Amino acid sequence: MPAKPGRRVALGAAVASLALLTSSGTSIPAPVPVPLAAPVSTPFEHDPVAVASTPEPAKKPRKPSYGKSLTRSLDGLSDDLAVSVRELSSGLSFSYNRGLRTATASIVKVNIVVALLLRAQRQRRGLTGWERRAAAQAIKVSDNAAASSLWGAIGGASGLAAVNKKLGLRHTRPGPGGSWGSTTTSAADQVRLLKALVSAKSPLSAENRRYVLGLMRDVAPEQAWGVSAAGRKGADVALKNGWLPRERDGGRWTVNSIGRVRERGRTYLIAVVSRRNRSMGSGVKAVERVSEMVARAIAKAG
């Protein structure tokens, strides 16, 4: 079939153009192949074309740093107070005045009972009747005679030091001789101790973790102050407090509180240690104020 006139004109123009380019010595680039559309694939196939063409999700706006504002607030309170907190559901944490070391006073009784339980685990046995009674008295009513008996049972300062190495405590130094209350510690170490009561990776068995927390949930009502202020009324609180006037501080008070606070789907491990408080009452108020501040800030951030 003969070509239509319009097509002959177009073809002739193309040939003329080709001849002109060739006669001028200009090379004609090879035609560029047009790629076929890439097949649609799911993200699970790891197709590089599909991944490259997928738009990046919009970035969430960064939340303001709670740590800086908390530090500014705490700077105005006391140089003789330290706090460490970890919230387990969000993973958020905060520490203030990391270098402070204070006497434990009676919060070391939790450490002593943990050491007792680890000793029993190594011996593949449960606690004896008197050990259970002493542990309950030491934590629930903060009985000093019971704590002294348990201190001897775990091997005193050397026994506690060995256990704390196993627990990963870095700054806790057992008191000399029978002076368990003169053990020194940091807020961060006390949170590490609390973590041993809630973590499946703890050297403590699940049964023994529940046992210690059960004692701490049942402290005498008059001793339920401290980190409990981090939770509202009705929160699940397991804690131990320590208070002691120290001659080396001119009779001023060391006041400490450690514990686990659970409420509204959050679990806080909190340790507040303080020294040189004018009175036990003023120390309690400071510990409670700080506990409430850090829990509120982390709840908003998380």
Sketch the domain layout of the chain as residue ranges.
66-301
Q: Which residue has the higher pLDDT, 13 or 274?
A: 274
20 burial (CB, 10 Å; 0-12 / 13-18 / 19+) is: exposed
| Integer Cα distance of 148 and 25 in angstroms | 104
Residue pair 270/83 in contact by the 8 Å Cβ criterion: yes
Q: Give me the pLDDT at residue 5, please.
A: 46
Helix 108-122 to helix 206-217 angle, to the nearest 10 degrees? 150
Residues 6+ apart with CB under 8 A from 198: 88, 209, 213, 260, 267, 269
| Integer Cα distance of 184 and 174 in angstroms | 7
pLDDT tens per residue across span 219-270: 999 999 999 999 999 999 999 999 999 999 999 999 999 999 999 999 999 9
pLDDT tens per residue across span 161-217: 999 999 999 999 999 999 999 999 999 999 999 999 999 999 999 999 999 999 999
3-class secondary-structure state, position 243: strand
Least confident of 3-7, 95-99, 186-190, 245-249: 3-7
Domain 66-301 fold: Beta-lactamase (3.40.710)
Would you state the structure tokens that stand for residue 255, as one six-digit string? 């006041």
| Integer Cα distance of 174 and 267 in angstroms | 29
